[in-house]
Amino acid sequence: MIAANELYNLRKPDGLSISTLNTGSLFATATGNEAIKFDLQKFIWVGQAFDDAQVLDLETSTPYTSFDAIRKVNRAGKQPKMGAQALDHTSNVVVKIAEQIFGLDLQVIPGYPGTPQILLDIERGALDGRAQGIGSLMATRCDWIKNGYIKILTTSKKRRDPRIPDIATMEELAPAGSKGLLQALYAGQNPRAPWSCRQECPLIG
């Protein structure tokens, strides 16, 4: 957020300033974050570094290892605890979209400074799961997937990820009439090009 504000508010855009934007900046626009001091439409989008998606995963020793299991405990007044970095971060947005699409009741606990702290609290039992980028998960806790420590319920990719081919996508699982929310998610998590510069940038023309 600080970087996006800094880039946008350069006094004299000279074509020499370029930055990457976290998808959280895109979601922050949709959620009306008051810290925003930029207009996304006035950036020039240069290129996309990679196309990744989120997975929704729960620790397997919990009673929350399927959507049906979550709905069952919801009826008993229980909620899985999901760690998140901020309300406009993908770790919260993806969970909230999954809630709406699949009829779940999940308790998001925001405010974590980063992924390591969330993963540590999952190991401690203070959290039950989270939404996390599949690339990030494989880089930090690939063993969790291999040894079955977590159960991945779904992925937000439009098509199945070849790294986890057995995991169904939200697109596949979403009931008819609920895919409008997915289009909003796709627009935010897989923008055409998250590298940007200011509109007046002579480097781009």
For residue 158, give both structure tokens.
Answer: 């439009």
> What's the CA gap between 139 and 130, in Å, rounded?
16
Helix 23-31 / helix 180-189 crossing angle, nearest 10 deg: 130
The answer to whether 45 touches 196, Cβ cutoff 8 Å, is yes
The answer to whether 96 touches 108, Cβ cutoff 8 Å, is yes
> What's the CA gap between 16 and 174, in Å, rounded?
44
The model's pLDDT over 169-202, given as tens digits with 9 standing for 90+, comes to 999 999 888 878 888 777 666 544 344 444 443 3
For residue 138, give both structure tokens.
Answer: 């494989």
Strands 54-59 and 129-133 turn out to be antiparallel
> What's the CA gap between 38 and 196, in Å, rounded?
12
pLDDT of residue 188: 63
Residue 65 vs residue 202, higher pLDDT: 65
pLDDT of residue 32: 74
* Reported pTM: 0.79
The model's pLDDT over 111-165, given as tens digits with 9 standing for 90+, comes to 999 999 999 999 999 999 999 999 899 999 999 999 999 999 999 988 899 989 9
The model's pLDDT over 67-125, given as tens digits with 9 standing for 90+, comes to 999 999 999 999 999 999 988 888 998 999 999 999 999 999 999 999 999 999 999 99
pLDDT of residue 151: 97
26-45 burial code (b ≥16 CB/10 A, e <16):
bbbbeeeeeebebebeebbe
The model's pLDDT over 17-55, given as tens digits with 9 standing for 90+, comes to 888 877 777 777 766 778 889 888 888 878 777 677 899
What are residue 25's phi and psi, to 5 degrees?
-65, -35
- pLDDT category at 15 given cuts 50, 70, 90 is confident
May I ask the CATH architecture of the domain 54-188? 3-Layer(aba) Sandwich (3.40)
Q: Hey, where are the domains in the chain?
A: 2-23+34-49+192-198, 54-188
